[in-house]
Structure 1
Amino acid sequence: MLTVIRILYNLLIFIFIPIILPLGYIAALWKKEEKDYFERFGFIKIDKNVEKSVWFHCASVGEVRSLKILINEIRKRYPDLAIVISTITYSGKEVAVKELNPDVVFLLPIENSLAIRYLINYLNTKILFIVDTEIWPNLILTASKIIPLVMINARISDRSFKNYYRMKFIFSYLLTKFQKIFVKSEDDFLKFERILGGKNNLELLGNLKFFEKKEVHVDDLDFLNGRLITAGSTHRGEEELILGAYKEVKNSFDKLIIVPRHINRVEEIVRLTKSFNFNVSKWSEGVDNCIQSEVIVVDKFGMLEKFYKISEKVFVGGSIVTNIGGHNIFEALQFRKVIACGDNMWNFKEIYDLAKRYDLIYPVKSKKDFIDYFENNIKLSPDFDSFEKELKEKATNKLTKIFEYMSTAL
């Protein structure tokens, strides 16, 4: 049965490639991502001699950034291992090049077994790590026949679990091809266990997103004085709550800064802000406009942590809407800010629970909650020292487990 499904699956891929290739290229041209487009079909140029390597496959930016400390440590312990990174998204590849400096980086040849086999052999890959729950059958089945295959930061959302369990006979087969699955949380562990029918290759590790403080320079924000609020990584439905609450407290603050998760929503948010009768400008409109505005909507990448650093109040989005699972709260916590966020934080449950335990989280889900947070109506007793100490201990333990496994696999 599984063999028949695999044949049909690959037949569909073969049939749809002539359709997908030109349509995808048009989309890539529109997004100015055409340069590396054909890597997705296996046309990858490797201009570096690699004796042996470790390969990390990531979906996008978040998964790439989660690898920073692990890759730095691999370079120290295994200096002869080249670092190979593949991504699904163009932005993920750009961030990998800029922040991780891998020896080889490319867009994944999606479900191209011939290309996967060629890359593993050409790069003399010793182990392949798939970051997060990226289920690509041909990648998994091809790689697992040649080298150890490991999943790190493994997780399954409630919505995905229903589909995975419904198709258990397929997903359990694919998951058994992993020699080790390092699971993100206890809840995820139980989900994997149900699909696999036992613990098998599972190990609870926690979130591999290792957290370290960054040196963030804010000289270019010197003109933003006074009491600031930043709402970061926001999604539709969250900006309304923030703007409604800010309208009630604006006399106590100088500016509200909104940094949407998706930059293509900037114009939508500007229109929404105007509907609240605020004077609003986009960051790209320049210093003079920003100084005169009550609300600034940021339409530039790479600014979020700068605004977190200079703001008195911080909201981290993707946490009130129910379908996202939250964003990286450490980006604000590293500056010792008590932050507001909702309770839909399953993507960062470990650090969220830890931050709540040390009184670093102000839970919000309504306009009134935001007003209370802005006006300090509920007093907290934050303990940043204990939080940072425990976070460091957890990161050390996770690295130890991963390298214990790697030493047996290499």
Structure 2
Amino acid sequence: MIQPVPFFKTPFWYNWLLACIKPIYRWRLNKRSGHLADFQDELTERFGPFQPAKNRQVIWFHAVSVGETNAAQPLVEHYLQQGQPVLITNTTRTGQARAKALFAQRYPELFQAVFLPVDQQPLLDAFIDCYQPKILLLMETELWPNLLQCVAQRGIPQLLLNARLSEKSAKGYAKLKRLTYPMLSQLNWIAAQDQATLQRFADLGKSVSEMSVVGNVKFDITAPDWVVTKAAQLKQDWQLSHRKIMVLASTHAPEELQLLTELKAALQADQNLLCIVVPRHPERFDEVFQITQQLGLNTKRRSLQQAIDANTQVYLADSMGELWLWYALSQVAYVGGSLNEPGGGHNILEPVALGVATVLGKNYFNFQVIVDEFVKQDAVNIVQDAVQAQEQLLALLENTDQRQHMLQHATTILHSNQGSVLRHIQLIDQFLASV
């Protein structure tokens, strides 16, 4: 039996501030995406009026962007395989593109992905009426006051899954405790990645009787089936068997410029060296290409379907949903968003799962607990700047023994932390059984 949760009316000041910001937000969307063919669809999904739902009585996942969507993947897959309709909402275009790439073609009748509406009560009430969700499953961090209030008012269970809360984020929430406490109180359950996260939520006022530590679903990671096959084909087609390949993954400005500047001499001196660059955000693809041209590096682009040849120094992977493939082609990886400021980092478990020795910068607080465990076991290398990153990447490419040492430790950590997906499913099923 689901225990009812209280619901709290969102403060007037929050709704007033949101009403003031809304026109600016809409203007920014138009500036960023107004030229795209599906822009009108994005506007209606974010601001209404909503189109008829493909399914009702859905299992509703909210995943902010790519990382949260990837974390939700095994959970979504489980319920789709059971024949249950699933709705995913995203905040970012990259997140929605990832969700559709994962599920839209394989489950055309059961799956739907749309943008989360703006956090205003009339919009959210209309959205909930449209889809009539059985449960709301929020991935990792993003909490919206009106969303939580509207769902709680309907008596729909809402769970925060794979929850993580850094010390920095906890301090931010603590400054807005009158907003934070009601949000947390309206959650039926928080499934925390680790004890530190659970304690931070408890310090913010969430009852420990409504939380549990279930681990991190990202440790249960496996590469999609197509990746190994496709990588083997590309290695043959592009004659990569003798190449020393590094990938700069999920990079942000100014990481590409800094890293490629440091790597330029090595790339020019060693024809067997190849650097694959995968910028985090698609709107920066052309910007990164211009950087490679300014540095005089021979560059091929995925978006133009260009093949890597013997003279290629940089391959710009300006596509969506193929990061696994670029990891599978590489021997070493730099995981981005960790040397820029403020940074925060991205998921190191993807390269680890494919046996790729991994380097990342010092600013990895979004994945603090995960990375710290790998650091303690010498399973990843942390660098302070682009100079150190270049040194570590080249050293690992040259030293097979060092790479294998890192990967043995990394694989042990990965396997010892698996099992969180099953624990999450058991928790979700307890709530589904009561609706």
Which amino acid is the alignment partner of residue 241 of structure 1?
L
Aligned position for 1:201: 210
Question: Could you say which residue in structure 1 is the equivalent of 2:50?
Answer: 44
Opposite residue 235 of structure 1, the aligned amino acid is H
CA distance in 1, matches of 2:31, 2:395: 48
Do residues 399 (structure 1) and 402 (structure 2) align? no
> 1:223 and 2:238 equivalent?
yes
2:193 pairs with 164, 184, 191, which one? 184
1:254 counterpart (264, 270, 273): 273
Deviation at 1:23, TM superposition (A): 6.3
Native 8 Å contact 1:57 1:86 kept in 2: yes
**Structure 2 unaligned spans of 5+:** 1-6, 105-109
Q: SS where residue 165 of structure 2 aligns? A: coil
Cα distance 1:247–1:59, how it changes in 2: closer, same or farther (>3 A)? same
- Counterparts of 1:351 and 1:46, CA distance in 2: 41
Distance of 2:135 and 2:9 partners within structure 1: 29
Q: In structure 1, give the amino acid aligned to 2:265.
A: K
TM-score, normalized by length of structure 1?
A: 0.84
Give the structure 2 partner of residue 71 of structure 1: 76
What is the Cα-based RMSD across aligned positions, in Å?
Answer: 3.3
- Give the 3-state SS of the residue equivalent to 2:419 in structure 1: helix
Structural mapping, 1:72-151, within 5 Å:
72-76=77-81, 79=83, 81-101=84-104, 102-146=110-154, 147-151=156-160
Structure 2 residue matching 1:98: 3-state secondary structure: helix
Indicate the larger mover: 14-23 or 381-390: 14-23
Aligned partner of residue 85 in structure 1, secondary structure: strand
Q: Which amino acid aligns with 2:40?
A: K
Q: CA deviation at 1:58?
A: 1.9
> Does the C-alpha gap of structure 1 residues 349 and 318 become closer, same or farther in structure 2, counting only changes over 3 Å?
same
Distance 1:360 1:214, change over 3 A: farther
Match of 2:174 among 165, 187, 204: 165
Alpha-carbon distance change, 358 to 407 in structure 1, aligned in 2, over 3 angstroms: farther
TM superposition shift of 1:388 = 5.0
| Pair 1:336 & 2:341 matched | no
Q: Which amino acid aligns with 2:136?
A: L
Percent identity among equivalent residues? 24
Contact preservation (8 Å) 1:326, 1:345: yes
The residue aligned with 2:321 is: 302
Q: Unaligned stretches of 5+ in structure 1?
A: none
- Higher mean alpha-carbon deviation, 101-110 vs 278-287, is at 278-287
| Partner residue of 1:54 out of 59, 65, 68 | 59
Cα 1:264–1:94 change in 2 (3 A) is closer
What one-letter code is carried by the residue in structure 2 that aligns with 1:42? Answer: G
Amino acid at match of 2:252: H
Q: Could you give the per-residue CA deviations for residues 93-133 of structure 1, whole angstroms, max 9, x where no partner exists?
A: 33323313453432222123234334434433221112222
Aligned pair count reads: 405
Q: Once the two structures are superposed, what CA deviation does each residue of 1:323-361 show, in whole Å capped at 9, x if it has no partner?
A: 332222232222222222234333334543554566542
What secondary structure does 2:325 align onto?
A: helix
8 Å CA contact retained: 2:344, 2:366: yes
Residue 141 of structure 1, CA deviation? 0.8
Which whole-Å CA distance do the structure 2 matches of 1:270 and 1:98 have between them? 25
1:223 corresponds to which letter in structure 2?
Answer: W
Query: 2: distance between equivalents of 1:97 and 1:335?
Result: 23
CA gap of 1:74–1:274, structure 2 versus 1, over 3 A, is closer
Partner of 2:184: 175
The answer to whether residue 381 in structure 2 is matched with residue 362 in structure 1 is yes
Moved more, 140-149 or 389-398: 389-398
**Would the alpha carbon gap of residues 358 and 271 (structure 1) be closer, same or farther in structure 2, given more than 3 Å must change?**
same
CA distance 1:275–1:153, change in 2 (3 Å): same
